[in-house]
Structure 1
Amino acid sequence: MTEVLHRSDNALLRKLGYKSEFQREFSLIETICFSLSIMAVSSGVTTGYSFPLNSGGHFAMIWGWFIPCFFIMCVAASMAELASSMPTSAGLYYFSAKMASTKHSALASWITGWANITGQITLVCSIGYTCAEMITSGITMATDGAVTLGSGPTFGILVAIFATQGIICSTATRTLARINLLSVILTSEDLWFMGTLIAAVVGLFVCARKNRVSAKVAFTEFENSTGWSNNVWAFIMAFTSPMWSLTGYDSAAHISEETAGAARAAPIAIVVSVAATEIFGWIYYMAASFATTSVDEILQTKLTLPMGQVFLNTLGKKGALALWFLIALYMCGCSQGVDASRVIFAFSRDNALPGSRWWKKIDKRTQTPVNAVWLVMAASAVCGVLSFSAAAFNSLVSASVIGLYISYVTPVYFRITSGRKKFVPGPFNLGRWSTPIGITAIVWVAFMVVMLLFPASQSTTAETMNYAIVLVMAVFVFASLSWVLSARKWFTGPISNIDSSSESTSYDEKQDHSVL
């Protein structure tokens, strides 16, 4: 059965224009695990807690997560529909090329590809940076504040993280699949702990009432600590947390050439992993809101990550440290590194990156794009120089979300406009709901991109400004100049790498998903 499934997958891939170059070692459950390990809600909420803490306190923790979840699911569902129809590692920029008109196909693909690469690399960096911050915060917690590491040591830890993750990401596909299954098991235990944290915290608060806030406070008390005078705008800035945590689910599309039954597995993994992350994340934030006895006290903590102070106040030093180091952010970074390397590989396969001949090479021993892996780690380390800025985390988070979500909705836009009649549904499709869901996703992302370019405070300095605009504009200017001066003359979008001219490589030809 597995062999038949692989043959069907490879036949569909050839119809999309590519020969099979990977081993299909990811099953449905392992594909879901891969997406879950990238989003790693326990890590995302732990490190992103500072956004709602500043942007409305208790009210923002609860509703600043809940409200965006509906709109993010619209984006995920629209992407899942495309991934089911066109399961290839090229993913988003391939979708844009095939859904756009013939005249704009190459430009649509170019924009989507560069936006996705920007988001992928800055997401690897932001995950690595928060992992380094968790380590430095843990050291501060363990030494009762006696040791506080600055930006220099944090950058050194960050480089060490990228070096070790590069080694792991360079291993064979079978090994990666097993590692990610183990990772999500560990992460799920953490998620299970967070899921039961509310009951544990409530029980603790019965014994020590001074450590508990009321339900009214936990769900409704609003405290604006951003510096922005408009409370509505301040609250909207709390949306940064779920937008950042709920990224990377396009990974299921990028590893589809390594997945068995990809036309079904990829979209299911996208929808299931996003839904699970949304549910667990909301439970975690409810627990955090009940456990936050004083927003002002947490804001004044000496710890790099404020959630560490909540753990200390609620669980004590030993309990806080035990929980702190159970959060598997390191493996989350490994999964994202694999995802980003597949994007680099796919875009290079179509000769769209400088030095493409190096980045599209498949290592004969591991059957993985090792060169692409190390390009991702090197570029992430360069972005990590921002760690010397006080606003590093905000800037990296904003840049990664902007890049990724622009690449998420660009093919959706073409799907509901020029691609409406061209689209060939896969096993997963939205039917008549495709257009309204797609429009909702596009409008939401357009609004969030604007919001994410604003600094965290109304009054800002060179150290606290939001450098996302610098990162995003640098790539935008480079990609735009490359297009105008050169790429428009030779880049045609996805290029078939099948030698035989007798093979059908057109998406417009009816695709057969029945065997999948």
Structure 2
Amino acid sequence: MIESSKLEQKTSGDVQSVSEKDNVYVLDVDNAKLAELGYKSEFKREFSLLETCAFSFSIMGIVASVSSTLAFGMAELASSMPTSAGLYYFSAKLAPEKYAPLASWITGWANITGQVALVCSIDFTCAQMITTAITVNSDGETTLSLGATYGILLAILFAHGVVCSAATRILARLNLFYVVVNVGTTVAAIIALLVVSGDNKVSTKDAFTLFENNSGWMNNGWAFMLAFTSPMWTLTGYDSAAHISEETAGAGRAAPIAIIVGVFATASFGWILLISTSFVIPSISDLLGTTLPLPMGQVFLDVFGKRGMLIIWSFIIVVQFVTGAAQGVDASRVVFAFARDNALPGSRWWKKMNSNAVPVHAVWFVMFWAGILGLLGFSVTALTSLAGASVIGLYTSYSAPIFLRITSGRNKMQPGPFSLGRWSTPVGVVAVSWVTFVTIMLLFPPGQTTTPGTMNYAVLIVGFIFMFATVSWVTSAHKWFHGPVRNVDDVEEKHVS
């Protein structure tokens, strides 16, 4: 028995030793690949494949989508070049050498602007969810002002700053909790809507075919096309898997898988959720007339009553909160990477790491500017325009490297573990075409007759950012920004034997 016990211990020890050696080998390969891309490893690689998928999924939340094709092109790039720099690094390496710094500069600024604006949009919506709950709980007697909503936004941003400053291993584990809450709440909402509504559901024909034009545009076809912009706000952020690739073990494989899984899971759950919602809304016109800050709150109130609505709504608030937390991590990694390449004012400060290998200064950079952008929330029109501008900025930065991949970069990219092969060009064409279409749609106002109070100011926000990027490039940046900066010695590039 003693010998048997010793044998079991020895076998267990050998298995553990092999597992540890495998982990060390994977990390060596990851770090060697990063060194090949020009960067030294500064993060702790504590995101597993499952946690990376959970992170990608958590950022997007749940809503239907028609943009799934974009995920494939992004996954291929992330697999080939797994670095936190992500999109602007891809653009730099795939653009013609003469224009590489400019392509990197524009892509980087578009992505950072979209990332910070998305943090603001997500957290402001979370604040509105809280005010909606307060209004329902008081039976409409308490309606918080825009100033109070902004105060809630600042509190949420502060909480997210604390969460996003946590060590990598904590963030990795938190995302497993995020995805459980996200999926659990979505499934519960889908089932509850269909069951509790009972016989009050609309017919299947009306749920799938009834069309009501409440857009402010007379032409129904045009109104239908504008509806495609709705899911775009949620289906952003799946480049997050690329931005945490320096914190991921086996990043060349894990990042593309996380991107694809995140997009398809979100699109699938979202599609089912919207179908179930369509069965319990007798009239969109009546719904839009609600006095609640968010019409979806009225849907749940009508179906579940006050108590039921507050229960499910509290879980939805948690989902929105964790979505904002995940997006905060994503945005901070983009800021860190851009600062590492000395592309931001004060880059020396924003690329600093704390003792836990977390770019805490970049985290608070994101929260500060998200708070500044939140001032636009005092105007509903401005806030809506900001949401549209964040989508435009992000999708422009998504499509730029894909466009370069299928044009000047066809023969430049060294495929990673995930490659589209001969499908790269057709998938890329579809992705870029879709982004072009939806970007144009996002610039149009909600109605064909506009006033200063109903105008879509996304074009001004986006125009200002691109004007800033262009002017700064022409007047200064072209002299000192030359694209991604190598910070690793040749000795560090060698694979560890």
Q: Structure 2: which amino acid aligns with 1:386?
A: L
2:407 equivalent to 1:417: yes
1:213 equivalent in alignment to 2:202: yes
Q: 1:35 aligns to what?
A: 56
Structure-2 separation of matches of 1:32 and 1:265: 8
Structure 1: how far apart are the matches of 2:456 and 2:157? Answer: 24
The answer for unaligned runs of 5 or more in structure 2 is: 1-21
Corresponding residue for residue 240 of structure 2: 251
Shift of 1:503: 5.5
> Normalising by the residue count of structure 1, what TM-score does the alignment of the two structures yield?
0.89
Describe how 1:111-510 pairs up with structure 2 within 5 A: 111-194=106-189, 196-197=190-191, 200-206=192-198, 209=199, 211-327=200-316, 328-364=319-355, 366-498=356-488, 500-502=489-491
The answer on 1:18 being equivalent to 2:18 is: no
Give the equivalent residue in structure 1 for 2:10.
none
Q: Cα distance 1:341–1:202, how it changes in 2: closer, same or farther (>3 A)?
A: closer
**CA deviations over 1:133-164 (Å, ceiling 9, x no partner):** 10011111111111111211111111111111
Contact 1:389-1:464 at 8 Å conserved across structures: no
Separation (CA, whole Å) in 2 of partners of 1:180 and 1:375:
22
CA offset digits 1:295-325 (Å, max 9, x no partner): 2221111101001111011111111110011
C-alpha separation between the residues in 2 aligned to 1:489 and 1:504? 28
Greater mean deviation of Cα atoms: 247-256 or 297-306:
297-306
Q: Which has the larger radius of gyration?
A: 2
Cα gap change, 1:185 to 1:355, in 2 (>3 Å): same
Partner-residue secondary structure (3-state), 2:279: helix
Q: Is there any run of 5+ residues in structure 1 with no aligned partner, and where?
A: 46-64, 506-511
- Report the AA paired with residue 123 of structure 2: G
Contact 2:197 2:303 in 1 (8 A): no
Alignment of 1:64-75 (within 5 A): 65=64, 69=66, 72-75=67-70
* Alpha-carbon offset, residue 448 of structure 1: 1.0
**Secondary structure, aligned partner of 1:23:** coil
Is contact 2:47–2:172 with CA below 8 Å preserved after alignment? yes
Q: TM-score, normalised by structure 2?
A: 0.93
Query: How many pairs align?
Result: 473
Q: Does the 8 A contact of 2:193 with 2:277 survive in 1?
A: no
Matched, 1:8 2:3: no
Q: Which amino acid aligns with 2:54?
A: C
Q: Distance in 2 between the 1:393 and 1:326 partners?
A: 24
SS of match in other structure, 1:330: helix
Q: For each residue in 1:242-275, what CA deviation from the matched residue of structure 2 results, as whole angstroms up to 9, or x when unmatched?
A: 1111100000000000000000000000000100
Contact 2:338 2:344 in 1 (8 A): yes
1:95 equivalent in alignment to 2:90 = yes
Instruction: Tell me if structure 1 keeps the 8 A contact 2:196–2:304.
Output: no
- 1:187 Cα deviation from its structure 2 partner: 1.2
Report percent identity of matched pairs.
58
Query: Partner letter of residue 241 of structure 1?
Result: S
Give the deviation of 1:205 after TM superposition.
4.3
Structure 1 455/300 Cα, relative in aligned 2: closer, same or farther at 3 Å?
Answer: same
Q: Deviation at 1:392?
A: 3.8
Task: Report the equivalent of 2:12.
Answer: none
Structure-2 residue corresponding to 1:106: 101
Aligned to 2:19: none
Q: Separation in 1 of the partners of 2:127 and 2:179? A: 20
**Alpha-carbon deviations, 1:389-440, whole Å to 9, x = none?**
1224421221111000000010001111111111111111111111000011
After the TM superposition, which segments of 4 or more aligned residues of structure 1 sit over 6 Å from their partners? Answer: none
The residue identity in structure 1 corresponding to 2:462 is V
Cα 1:178–1:279 change in 2 (3 A) is same
- Cα deviation 1:187-231 (Å, max 9, x = unaligned): 12112214x42xx4444444xx3x210011111111111111111
Distance between the aligned counterparts of 2:380 and 2:333, measured in 1?
Answer: 32
Please, what is the CA RMSD of the aligned residues?
1.5
Distance in structure 2 (CA, Å) of the matches to 1:412 and 1:320:
43
Rounded Cα–Cα distance in structure 2 between residues aligned with 1:214 and 1:205:
13
Aligned to 1:62: none
User: Are the structure 2 counterparts of residues 153 and 398 from structure 1 closer, same or farther at C-alpha, using a change threshold of 3 Å?
Assistant: same
1:99-123 residue CA offsets vs partner (Å, 9 max, x unmatched): 1111111111111101101110110
Task: Please tell me whether the aligned partners of residues 15 and 503 of structure 1 are also in contact (alpha carbons under 8 angstroms).
Answer: no
Distance in 1 (CA, whole Å) between partners of 2:398 and 2:185 is 29
Find the aligned partners of 1:118 and 1:475 in 2 and give their Cα distance.
Answer: 8
d(CA) in 1 for partners of 2:28 and 2:81? 16
Tell me by how many angstroms 1:504 deviates: 5.4
Question: Quick one: distance in 2 between partners of 1:175 and 1:503?
Answer: 28
1:19: Cα distance to partner? 0.5
Q: Which amino acid counterpart does residue 86 of structure 2 have in structure 1?
A: G
Q: In 1, distance between residues paired with 2:425 and 2:402?
A: 9
